Amino acid sequence: MLLRMSTLFLRTLREDPADAEVPSHKLLVRGGFVRRAAPGVYTWLPLGKLVLDNIADLVREEMNGIGGQEVLLPALLPREYYEASNRWTEYGDTVFRLQDRKGADYMLGPTHEELFTLLVKGEFTSYKDFPVVLYQIQEKFRDEARPRAGILRGREFHMKDAYSFDIDDAGLQRSYDLHRGAYVRIFDRLGLKYVIVSAMSGSMGGSASEEFLAETEYGEDTFVRSTGSDYAANVEAVRTPAPPHLPVEGLPEAVVHHTPDTPTIQTLVDFLNGAALGREFTAADTLKNVLVKTRRPGEAAWEILGIGLPGDREVDMKRLEAAVYPAEVALLDEADFAAHPYLVKGYVGPNALLANKLRYLVDPRIVEGTVWTTGADQHDHHVVDLVCGRDFTPDGTIEAAEVREGDPSPDGTGTLYTARGIEIGHIFQLGRKFTDTFGLDALGPDGKPKRVTMGSYGIGVSRLVAAVVEQSHDDKGIVWPRSVAPADVHVVGTGKGEQIEVAVRLAEELAAQGVRVLVDDRKGVSPGVKFTDSELLGIPTTVVVGKKLAEGLVELRDRAGGGHSEIALDATVATVAALVKDA
RNA sequence: CGGGGAGUAGCGCAGCUUGGUUAGCGCGCAUGCUUUGGGAGCAUGAGGCCGCGGGUUCGAAUCCCGCCUCCCCGACCA
């Protein structure tokens, strides 16, 4: 491959585009890799297309390596498939919808589980046909409420999605493990720094699920890590370690106090500390009871749920939603309070809930023998020294409290801190959600039909381009890892003599050796401009044919390390070809 | 959907408060000469529906009304 900058469809920009915030967005636009076409929609220019293809090829290699077979499904999808799984409706505003001339509904595929399931159903019918892994690298369309960060979160993007089909759960586990291994190899080859966190499977249903997050300052996903180990998890997946139970004997009796105008934790703590009770109270000594209602899918009635947590912590709605999934959850409104007069807003205690047979779940830190100040179920009253396990017994625990920096790590190794990342891959055991919907069975050896089970495995291919740049750039530009760089070598000819002719000849010889070469053969462009462009474009190795040419020397530069050395012109092709092949 | 900001040449911006001849600057682009190891110099050019519609005025990029779009933060996000 030989690209000549004199004719390449490329224009680099000296200034950052006004709409870019994150480094990958700025650099990909400035370097002429992409251009914005519409909000969240980008055109891939020649250099960007090369990078995108390199990543896709690398993903392909590893997918083929675990027996995956590539197909390409349409992006334009008829409504009927998605009606069957109810996702025509469920997807809501996120999906791009359109109609043909006859008025028939279509959508631009946001994901393809339905099509893959039906594809397999149409072809394979025997247990002997399984397992099978199909994948595609396809454009996906999602009408995001707010596309952002350039390539990182667009409305049209490239994704590799793979699906495994197995006869039984053990097979699914094997398929899952194979994909996990392939993903590790893919992201390692891309040189990415990433973590694997356990994830909730969310609206996709299913059980085992892990996300691959590339760590970056500008990632939109928050996760937690431990100071003491490699532990990493989604905030939703953090299990709070329960402290040991404490003896109840000898603890003081619970006493109800008149606490006027103390509907919030802060007003309560202030009041208590002014009440001469002989000790200091903090928010952490109080038990906050938050009332929500939940509703199981398909049911009309809401059920009230009381959640008890230490008063210094807020409810994390995402954690709460994950904890009650698949039920939906909402806060109580005024009408709910009116309908349940024993719930005294601002003064709710455990006992009114328990006495009225409402479910009451508490944070795992609230164990037997812990002492709390909490609502006394009457206006302007709180109870002090209410002991868990003696004065009230919750129905169980729930992970709904916010996770904070400094909390103990669930694996017992250290404390948690938060980090940010970009979701680059997601694998999960989908199970039989879609095979049930479409009745995908395989005939077993006993002649009876057996329901197939699925795994689903995604990689954001175009997003990876941005993720790599986020992790691999400096103040001068991009630093492509060799595995995805648009070229192996950038040959820069600079000077007023025969340097450019020599540079082109060198480039041609390298290309003949199978090296991918970009040559800067532009005439009348000053060296400074060429060097600056070279650094912005970020090709791993640069060969400068310049002022030392008279002595038979060229300069070899390493973009990542910044090192440079002079080598003989005659030895350049062999040296560079070896460098590229060893990498 | 809530909050903030912005629409003026391919890109980045000024001009608007206080209306006034031909709308300006930098980058980029074209031509010529000079220059050639760190974003060169001089000269000459091309390039504009000042987001759209209406209004005020002798006169609107500038003032008023309405609309549209985009960007950022948040909500949302297989």
pLDDT in tens, chain A (583 residues): 999 998 899 889 888 888 888 888 889 999 999 988 888 888 899 999 999 999 999 999 999 999 999 999 998 888 887 877 777 777 777 888 888 888 888 888 888 888 899 899 888 989 999 899 999 999 998 888 777 788 888 888 999 999 999 999 899 999 999 999 999 999 999 999 898 887 654 434 445 788 888 888 777 777 888 888 877 777 777 778 888 888 888 888 878 888 777 777 777 777 777 777 777 778 888 888 888 888 877 777 778 888 888 888 888 877 787 777 767 777 777 777 777 777 777 778 888 778 788 888 888 888 888 888 888 788 888 888 888 888 888 888 888 888 888 888 877 788 888 888 888 998 988 888 888 888 889 898 888 899 999 999 999 999 999 999 999 998 889 999 999 999 999 999 988 888 888 999 999 999 999 999 999 999 888 899 999 999 999 999 999 998 888 888 899 999 998 888 889 989 888 999 998 888 7
Nearest protein residue by Cα to C1' of nucleotide B39: A529
Nearest protein residue by Cα to C1' of nucleotide B38: A528
The H-assigned helical ranges of A296-393 are: 317-324, 334-339, 350-355
The pair of three-digit structure tokens given for residue A513, joined into one six-digit string: 């050796």
The H-assigned helical ranges of A206-363 are: 265-273, 317-324, 334-339, 350-355
Task: Identify nearest nucleotide to residue A201 by CA to C1′ distance.
Answer: B78
- Report whether A348 contacts A289 (CB < 8 A): yes
> Do the domains at A17-69+112-238+418-470 and A487-582 have one common CATH topology?
no
Query: In chain A, where are the structural domains located?
Result: 17-69+112-238+418-470, 255-397, 487-582
Q: A523 CA to B35 C1', in Å?
A: 13
Task: Identify nearest nucleotide to residue A524 by CA to C1′ distance.
Answer: B36
pLDDT of amino acid A176: 93
Task: Identify nearest nucleotide to residue A544 by CA to C1′ distance.
Answer: B37
Q: A154 CA to B76 C1', in Å?
A: 15
The pair of three-digit structure tokens given for residue A287, joined into one six-digit string: 């038990």
Nearest protein residue by Cα to C1' of nucleotide B77: A144
Domain A17-69+112-238+418-470 falls in which CATH fold?
A: BirA Bifunctional Protein; domain 2 (3.30.930)
Q: What is the spatial distance between Cα A495 and Cα A91, in angstroms, rounded to a whole number?
A: 59
* Complex confidence, ipTM: 0.85
Provide the b/e sequence for A30-40 (b: ≥16 CB within 10 Å).
Answer: bbbbbebeeeb
What are φ and ψ of residue A399, in 5° steps? Answer: -95, 90
Nearby residues of A379 by Cβ (< 8 Å), 6 or more positions away: A344, A346, A347
Q: A13 CA to B47 C1', in Å?
A: 18
Q: Read out DSSP for A412-434? A: SSSBEEEEEEEEEEEEEEEETHH
Q: A397 CA to B18 C1', in Å?
A: 68
pLDDT of amino acid A453: 92
- Report whether A346 contacts A354 (CB < 8 A): no
Q: A556 CA to B41 C1', in Å?
A: 31
Q: What is the spatial distance between Cα A371 and Cα A287, in angstroms, rounded to a whole number?
A: 9
Q: A40 CA to B60 C1', in Å?
A: 35
pLDDT of amino acid A202: 41
ω into residue A326 within 30 of 0, thus cis? yes
The fourth-level CATH superfamily of domain A255-397 is YbaK/aminoacyl-tRNA synthetase-associated domain (3.90.960.10)
The pair of three-digit structure tokens given for residue A166, joined into one six-digit string: 């197995």
Query: Quick one: which of A226, A225, A224, A220 has its CA closest to A235?
Result: A224
- A487-582 to CATH, choices 3.40.50.800, 3.30.1330.40, 3.30.70.370, 3.20.20.100: 3.40.50.800
Task: Identify nearest nucleotide to residue A93 by CA to C1′ distance.
Answer: B76
Q: 3-state SS string over A92-108?
A: HHHCEEEECCCCCEEEE
Angle at CA of residue A498, ends A497 and A503, nearest 5°: 130
Task: Identify nearest nucleotide to residue A36 by CA to C1′ distance.
Answer: B70
Amino acid at position A504, single letter: V
pLDDT of amino acid A200: 59
